[in-house]
Amino acid sequence: MTEPDVVITDYLLAVESVLFAVFLWRQSTDRRRLRHPFVAFFAVTGAASLAGGTVHGFFLSGDSPLETILWRAALLCVGLAALCGWAIGARMLLAGRTARRIQVAAAIEYLAYAVVIVAVDDSFRVAVANYLPATAFLMVAFLHTYRTDRQAGMAGIVGIAATVVAAAVQQLRVAVHPRYFNHNALYHVTQAIALFLILRAAQLLIRQPAEGSI
> Distance between CA atoms of 84 and 36, rounded to whole angstroms?
9
pLDDT tens digits along 28-85: 888 889 999 999 999 999 999 999 999 988 877 667 889 999 999 999 999 999 999 9
pLDDT of 189: 97
3-state secondary structure 62-112: CCCHHHHHHHHHHHHHHHHHHHHHHHHHHHHHCCHHHHHHHHHHHHHHHHH
> Distance between CA atoms of 201 and 156, rounded to whole angstroms?
5
Per-residue pLDDT for 1 more than 80? no
CATH architecture, domain 4-206: Up-down Bundle (1.20)
Task: Give the alpha-carbon dihedral of 55, 58, 64, 69, to 10 degrees.
Answer: -30
pLDDT tens digits along 171-202: 999 999 888 899 999 999 999 999 999 999 99
Alpha carbon of 210 to those of 17, 62, 97, 150, 163: distances in Å? 25, 49, 17, 18, 28
Cα angle 10-13-15, degrees, rounded to a multiple of 5:
115
pLDDT of 57: 83
pLDDT of 29: 85
The span from the first CA to the last CA of the chain, in angstroms, equals 46
**Comparison of pLDDT for 130 and 208, the residue scoring more:** 130
Q: Please tell me whether residue 177 adopts helix, strand or coil conformation.
A: strand
pLDDT tens digits along 151-161: 999 999 999 99
pLDDT of 212: 46
Per-residue pLDDT for 214 more than 50? no
Task: Give the alpha-carbon dihedral of 108, 88, 117, 189, to 10 degrees.
Answer: 170
pTM (global) more than 0.85 = yes
